[in-house]
């Protein structure tokens, strides 16, 4: 961003955010998940993203920003956005999703020109998206706690002599007790451990089988 926009070094650090809702883009994994032509805003060290951005990145709005009727409620704007492009759900903030979920069914059905049954399915889908984001947030928090514990463990082990320790090609995790009564062991391969230790979002770098392990 600094290079492309020729931003003065004195204004660093620069924070890159989504123009639509101010979501901070702070790692490559999240950046790669965004659709093409996503609009960004580069904020200097003393700048903050305004809660009501004039350039909100909503391409569905054909009128100029200064011509938008200020009396139009927020949920109606969001409903029109969905009506024009259903995939825009991906870029909606959690606050926007909750606004649409809370809209009375008859009102939203009228705005979208759909039956109440169809709109009920839509609101259920929005709720699922909201729930999934919350689950992902909790998963990231658990991963961060695990990484902190892993670093602490490595620090302790490095100070303890292990004369009979086997080469650490694989780490072993106790996953409980098997049907025979003996502890069941699962091995973590080097590439799984490397992802957990080094990647900012390891859950995005591992396939389903690795995540299950």
Residue 53 has pLDDT above 80, yes or no: no
Residue 57 has pLDDT above 60, yes or no: no
| Domains, in order of start, for the chain | 1-46 (3.10.20.10), 68-138 (no CATH)
Residue 174 has pLDDT above 70, yes or no: no
* Strand boundaries in 44-202, DSSP class E: 171-177, 183-188
pLDDT band, very low/low/confident/very high, at 31 (cuts 50, 70, 90): confident
* Separation between Cα atoms, residue 7 and residue 59, nearest integer Å: 26
* β-strand pairing of 171-177 with 183-188: antiparallel
pLDDT at residue number 120? 92
Residue 136 has pLDDT above 50, yes or no: yes
Residue 62 has pLDDT above 50, yes or no: no
Q: What percentage of the chain has pLDDT greater than the value 90? A: 3
* Separation between Cα atoms, residue 55 and residue 59, nearest integer Å: 10
pLDDT at residue number 171? 54
Residue 30: strand, helix, or coil: helix
pLDDT at residue number 182? 47
Average pLDDT, stretch 175-199? 68
Residue 3 has pLDDT above 70, yes or no: yes
pLDDT at residue number 140? 86
Max mean pLDDT among 12-16, 20-24, 110-114 falls in 110-114
Average pLDDT, stretch 132-161? 81
Residue 177: strand, helix, or coil: strand
* Separation between Cα atoms, residue 123 and residue 102, nearest integer Å: 9
| Confidence (pTM) | 0.40
């Amino acid at each position: 961003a600094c290079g492309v926009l020729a931003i003065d070094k004195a204004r660093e650090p620069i924070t890159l955010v989504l123009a639509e809702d101010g979501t901070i883009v702070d790692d490559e994994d999240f950046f790669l998940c965004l659709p093409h032509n996503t609009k960004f805003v580069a904020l200097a060290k003393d700048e903050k993203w305004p809660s009501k951005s004039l350039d909100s990145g909503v391409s569905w709005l054909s009128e100029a920003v200064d011509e938008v009727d200020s009396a139009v409620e927020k949920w109606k704007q969001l409903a029109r956005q969905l009506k024009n492009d259903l995939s825009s759900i991906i870029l909606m903030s959690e606050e926007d999703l909750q606004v649409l979920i809370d809209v009375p069914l008859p009102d939203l059905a009228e705005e979208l020109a759909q039956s109440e049954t169809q709109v009920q399915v839509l609101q259920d889908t929005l709720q699922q998206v909201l729930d999934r984001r919350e689950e992902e947030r909790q998963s990231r928090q658990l991963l961060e706690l695990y990484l902190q514990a892993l670093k602490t463990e490595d620090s302790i082990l490095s100070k303890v002599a292990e004369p009979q320790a086997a080469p650490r090609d694989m780490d072993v995790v106790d996953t409980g007790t098997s049907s025979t009564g003996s502890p069941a062991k699962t091995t973590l391969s080097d590439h799984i451990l490397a992802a957990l230790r080094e990647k900012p979002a390891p859950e995005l770098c591992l396939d389903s089988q690795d995540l299950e392990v």
